[in-house]
Each structure stands twice: as structure tokens, then as C-alpha cells.
Structure 1
Amino acid sequence: MKKIAIVIADLVLGGGQRSALNLAAALSVNHDVTVLVFQDSYRQYKVPCKLINLDCPDKKSTIAKAYNVFKRAFRLKRHFDAEKYDYIFGFMESANFPVAMASPDSILSVHCNPHEIGTYETWLMKLTYPLAKHIIAVSEDVATILRDDYNMKKVSRIYNLVSFDEIKQQGSDEYHHGRPYIVALGRLADVKRLDLLVDAYAKSKLQQVCDLLLIGEGEMRSNLEQQIESLELTDNVILTGSQTNPFRYLKNAEFLVLSSRTEAFPMVLIESLVLSCPVVATDCPTGPREIVIDGENGLLVENGSEVALTEAIDRLYYDKALLAHCKDNAFDSVQHLSADKVVNEWLALGESA
């Protein structure tokens, strides 16, 4: 049995948070796992193991943020020295920076496209990531960027861990909408380009027979509400807000749409496919092209193209043979991402790195 620490800044709704807790749950079956957070406000998930709050919440100003990185690193080092973990895993940038500073034995998991982070975060990444023992990228494209554009040598790719059983269980909860619908699931943020999806839907034939559900919350909500109203789609495009169980919506959807400008490795695509719900996704950097097999489990479309997105959602909905084919293939297309395989990759890297 190994003693393992998993460090993540917080446990608000998000793909990185789900991935960290999925790994914690899977590792906890045979190992002693502790999840460490810097703040425990607005927690949206049950924690499957011991949880420790180091009480170093986010700061807003650049100076306060810089001080906070060192404060977090100090508290982590003190904790690591006392607990003597066999493996230390950092998740996402806000945890990775202080984790790397606190332990040269740490393994960092990168969950974003490095080209999309800010100048300050890029500086911190270049400063701290080489201090860690190894870096895990959640997609091949992210791994390539880290190696080629940031000259990082100790990089491997391990896909996000998805809990198939939990998704299926939650997906079995009932949800009745009244007529067919498609879904988009994630933060209402500019990078998700939900405005593009709403425009594409407005120009499609779907609005006559099929609704669009936007599941999530975020800073773009008011903009989207105004856009939906101006397009006279208030009866067809529904903003559901955040949902603790979004999988019941996915289970009964015609398909899911991901319209993002950029991603890292979008877990929502995998979660949708686990529930035999096909996907339409923009071919954005990075991740979708490693998940979506065009014409087999969904459709991959030109990034940022409203016309291509409109054509794709119309095609997948109205071509019933294609839709059925993608539904039939969806679950099998993600079998290589099963929990056992991903856990073994993490443990093997911990031993060898």
C-alpha cells in the first residue's frame, strides 16, 4: 500500500476537479490517499478519502497572488515533510506551481493548453515545472506543446480518469423534457464559445423540432441571455444553471455539442460517450481529435466556423442512420480510457519517474 497525496486548489465544479477525485477514488481501493486543497468554499463534490484544507484561498492582485504561491508552497512542504508521502500528484496550474516548489518528487498533471494561460502563469510554469520529477499532460497535443514550445523534457501523456460506473449510475436518474433536445455542458465562459453554438442553432433546422440545453454557470450568462432573447429563442434554448448530476441530461439527449475555442482534454466528451450519447465537437486545440472519430462516434467540425457547426448539428440530427451508428459505437470508442488502465499508468509513472 502506497501513501499518496493529491493536491488541487479547490473542489468547485470542473473537469479537473472531477478527474482528480476520480483518481483519488480509484487509488483509494488499495492505497492510503489524501486530497489536499487550498480552499474548501463552494465544494460541489463528495470526497472519497481523507480531505485536508490548507486554508490558502485565492487572491486577486498580482502581488497577493505571488505571495500566495510561496505561502502555499511553505504549507505544502511542512505537510509533506511531516507525512512522508510515497507519491505526490499535483492537479492543475494553481496547485502545480506550489507543489513543484514544495517537493522535487512531485508529479504534475497539466489540464490546459499552455498557450492559453496568462503571462504571469506562463512565467510561473517556466520557473516551477522543471523542479518537479515529472509532468503529465492530459492529451498528446498538450504533451507536444510542453516538449516543443517550452523545452520540457520529463513529459508523459495520461488521459483523464473517468468513472464509467458512476456516470452510468447517475445517468440512470430520470429526466423528462417533453421534446427532443441537444446539450452543451460546461462553464458559461468565453472560451467555450456558446455564443457560436447559439448562433449555429438559430440558423439550423433543429429549432423547429429540438431544443438546446446549456448546462452550467459562468460569467457569460447575461450575454447569452441577451443573445437568446434577441434571436427570439427563449422557448428553445434553456439555461439550466449548474447541475450536480448533469449525466441524466446527457443520457436522454440526442447528442452533445462542444463548441470551444480551445480545450486540454475535454472530459465531457468522454462522459457523453460513456452514456452512448454521440458528440459534435470543434476540432480545437487540444483534445477533441483524440476522442472524436468523425462519422463513428460523432462529428468533428472546423474550429470557430458557425456554418460548419450548423451543418453538423443538422446532419447528425436528421441523418437517423448516422445518429444510430454513432450511438452504437459511442461506448466502445472510450473503452481504452477505463479506470484500471489509467490508474496503472499513474502508479507505473510514480514508480519509474
Structure 2
Amino acid sequence: MNLTKEKNICFFLTDLSDPGGVQRVVVELANFMSRYNNITIISVYANIKDGEPSYPYDISDRVKVVYLVKKSGSGGKVIKQINCLLKVIFFSVTIKKYKFDYIISQGMDSVIWSSIGAVLSRAKYICCDHTSYFRKPLWARIGRRLSLLLSHQIVVLTALDKSQWNSKKVTTISNPIPVDDNVCIEPLSFRQKNIIAIGRLVEVKGFIRLLDIWKSVVDSGSNNNYSLRIIGEGPMRAMLDNYIIKNSIKNVTISDFTKDINEVYKNARLLLVTSFFEGFSMVLIEAMYYGVPAIAFDVHSGPREIIYNNETGFLVEDGNIGKFVDLLSAVLNDESTLEYMSYNARLRVNKYRIDEVCNKWGEIMEGVK
């Protein structure tokens, strides 16, 4: 990592206990950077189990983890407003205990809580946007405005997102993938006939249209003994379970997130991504590392910057359910195409290696004035 000397670096995010892509990125960056720097992760929330905070990803003993408040049920409007103020105060007080050289706020929602404290500190303040710029809920709009006003540097994940910001503060760094050169990755023909879809069970991930696609494939008899495994947790779980039953969708299961997610990739032959919006999908590059081709809707940003169309997977016009069904049906009955794409995916993934990505982060931090 290209830093001239050891630094004190803080990664700040809203909820480290949530098993999502942002959390995985933060942990991977923190673990790697802690080899050469003092790293602290500060999370607004923590999920407490048996009296201890519980996190979905393995965090190095070299990394210090601090949380501000316990995760709890929602209260009334006044309580929520008080809690918002307390989070800002807690962060401002917490960072006074540490002489951070850099505060890296991961996610536009986290910028809302971190910006005041970061500005009051003497640290260099870097904000990272993990969602597509075309996705504009209120929290994202506020976070982006604060980032432009108060940060020293803004990091986005795709070239298209960078073009939308229209600011010299903005640079592009992709998400990293951890590399284990000793891992055994078998050819697709040795794996079970599993198709996977991984992500938070929320509307933006498009799981309803995924189930509609899968039902069409199975009902036509084109699934060739493949099964669909949806891996994730979130507020739509009960709705998705009921949707499967109501529509008599066969050969599909939904499983909770697992820490051993690498085993899921190692036993899969194909990944499906049906999101309405994507940032820089960790799921896509992790799948590439394990030689899993992908079919994804070509939304504004994300998949098109990772998938090499017809080489490592397929991009389908967003919303074209019929085309998605046709491609999926065809590829499930074409083992040679899957093997070809699997091989190419393994070749293309090297630019996302954790060491390469962290070198870029080092260059950014060294260049912040």
C-alpha cells in the first residue's frame, strides 16, 4: 500500500452488523490495510448477541472496532430525531479519543452522521458512495451534498457514476476481492447444478422479477435439473416465501446469509443479478473469482462495468424479461458456453485484487491536500 509511513485510519459506516456489500468491502479493506497501518472501524449500530457485538464477516485482530449505539426497534418521530442528534454527537466525541489521519465514510448514509465530527477533527475526510448515482433517495441526496461541501475527496465505484458528479473531488476506485492463491476452484462440470442470487432481500434487488423469470424457465422444462438458490436476509423474506408458494414456483430455495459464502460460490455454476439499481457489485466480482458466469440486467451502472458481454456473462436490456428467460434457458443447456465464460471470468478478475485496490487507496490518501 503506497503510504509513506504508518497512518491512523478510521472507516466509518452505519451498520457493520448488516451482512451487505458495503460491510464486506469495509472489512476487506480494513483487514488488508491493518498490515501496515492502525485501523479502526466505527459503526453507528451494532447487533448485540449474548452481550457481545456480532458481525457477519471475519475481522482481523489487528483492527479495532467501535460501535456507538445498540441496534433497537424504531420509536416515534421525536425519539428518532433525538437519536439522530445523539449519533452525530457520539461520533464527534468518539473521534476525539483518536488522532486519525484519515476518516473514510463508507456510504452516503454514513456521511450524514460523520460529516460534522470529521470536519471538526483535523483528519482528512474521504467519502465513498456505494450506490448508483441514478438512485436518489433522500439520504443519498443529503449525503452527496455534504460530501461535495465538506470532504477532501470523494470515491465512487464506476466511471459512469464519476461522470454524474461533475466535480474534481471525485475519483474512481473499484471494490476489492480478497485473493487466496491456495483455494481450490473446480471446473463447473464438477459442481452441483446450482444457480445463485445473492443480496439483501429488498425491493431494489429485483427478486420478484427474478422469481418470475425462474418460473418461466422451470415451467417450460428448460432448467435442465438446475435449482435456484437465493441467499440473503431482509424485510422482503416473508413476501418472497409467500410469492413462491402462491405461484407454485419449483426448484427454488431462500437461505439466510452465511459467513461461509465462498462455499456457495464454489458450488455454483451461474449467478443471476436482477437489480433495478446497482453500484459496484461485490457479488459479481466474487463470482468471477470463483469462475461463476453471470446474467444481469443492464441497469444504468454496475454490471456493465464488470461483465464482459458474451465473454464472462450476458447483459440483458433492463426490464426485458423475455430475453432474460431465453438466454437463461439456452445457457443452462449449453455446458460449453458456461465453461468458456467461467474460464474468462477467472482471467478478468485480477484487476480487482485486494492489493491492487489498496494501492489505489494509498495513492488517493497520499494525494489529499
Q: TM-score, normalised by structure 2?
A: 0.86
The question of 1:94 aligning with 2:106 is answered no
1: distance between equivalents of 2:346 and 2:143? 39
What CA RMSD, in Å, does the superposition of the two structures yield over aligned residues? Answer: 2.4
1: distance between equivalents of 2:151 and 2:327? 43
Distance change >3 Å, CA 188–CA 94, structure 1 → 2: same
The question of 1:146 aligning with 2:179 is answered no
Distance change >3 Å, CA 87–CA 185, structure 1 → 2: same
1: distance between equivalents of 2:197 and 2:290? 15
Q: Is the 8 A contact 1:186 1:215 kept in 2?
A: yes
Aligned counterpart in structure 1 of residue 69 of structure 2, from 36, 55, 76 = 55
Q: Is the 8 A contact 2:104 2:126 kept in 1?
A: yes
Question: Could you list the runs of 5+ residues in structure 1 that have no partner in the other structure?
Answer: none
In structure 1, the residue corresponding to 2:45 is in which secondary structure? Answer: coil
Aligned counterpart in structure 2 of residue 314 of structure 1, from 329, 332, 347 = 329
Distance change >3 Å, CA 64–CA 346, structure 1 → 2: farther
Q: Is the 8 A contact 1:107 1:136 kept in 2?
A: yes
- State the shift of 1:268 in Å: 0.1
- State the shift of 1:248 in Å: 1.1
Q: More relative contact order in 1 or in 2 (CA 8 Å, sep 6+)? A: 2
Aligned counterpart in structure 2 of residue 159 of structure 1, from 174, 181, 199 = 174
Q: How does 1:10-49 map to 2 (within 5 A)?
A: 10-11=15-16, 12-41=18-47, 42-48=54-60, 49=63
1:223-256 per-residue CA deviation (whole Å, 9 max, x = no partner) reads 222222233224x011122222222122121211
The alignment-based identity, stated in percent, is 26
Distance change >3 Å, CA 339–CA 345, structure 1 → 2: same
- State the shift of 1:327 in Å: 0.9
Match in the other structure for 2:318: 303
Q: How does 1:53-202 map to 2 (within 5 A)?
A: 53-55=67-69, 64-104=79-119, 105-147=124-166, 152-165=167-180, 169=183, 180-202=193-215
Question: Could you list the runs of 5+ residues in structure 2 that have no partner in the other structure?
Answer: 1-5, 48-53
In structure 2, the residue corresponding to 1:219 is in which secondary structure? Answer: coil
1:177-232 per-residue CA deviation (whole Å, 9 max, x = no partner) reads 9x612111111111111111111111124435211111112222222222222332
In structure 1, the residue corresponding to 2:97 is in which secondary structure? Answer: helix
- State the shift of 1:66 in Å: 5.0
2: distance between equivalents of 1:119 and 1:18? 24
2: distance between equivalents of 1:252 and 1:10? 29
Q: Is the 8 A contact 1:189 1:219 kept in 2?
A: yes
Q: How does 1:270-289 map to 2 (within 5 A)?
A: 270-289=285-304
2: distance between equivalents of 1:230 and 1:57? 33
1:266-314 per-residue CA deviation (whole Å, 9 max, x = no partner) reads 1000000100111111111221101000111111111122112111212
1: distance between equivalents of 2:145 and 2:184? 40
Alignment coverage as a number of residue pairs: 343
Q: TM-score, normalised by structure 1?
A: 0.89
Distance change >3 Å, CA 249–CA 123, structure 1 → 2: closer
Q: How does 1:178-327 map to 2 (within 5 A)?
A: 180-204=193-217, 205-234=221-250, 236-327=251-342
Distance change >3 Å, CA 228–CA 320, structure 1 → 2: same
- State the shift of 1:5 in Å: 0.8
Structure (1 or 2) with the greater helix fraction: 1
In structure 1, the residue corresponding to 2:69 is in which secondary structure? Answer: coil
Q: Is the 8 A contact 2:88 2:113 kept in 1?
A: yes
Distance change >3 Å, CA 56–CA 170, structure 1 → 2: farther
The code of the aligned residue for 2:55 comes to R
Distance change >3 Å, CA 44–CA 81, structure 1 → 2: same
In structure 2, the residue corresponding to 1:116 is in which secondary structure? Answer: coil
Q: Which moved more, 1:311-320 or 1:254-263?
A: 311-320
1:66-112 per-residue CA deviation (whole Å, 9 max, x = no partner) reads 55444333333333333211111111123222222222321011111
The code of the aligned residue for 2:116 comes to M
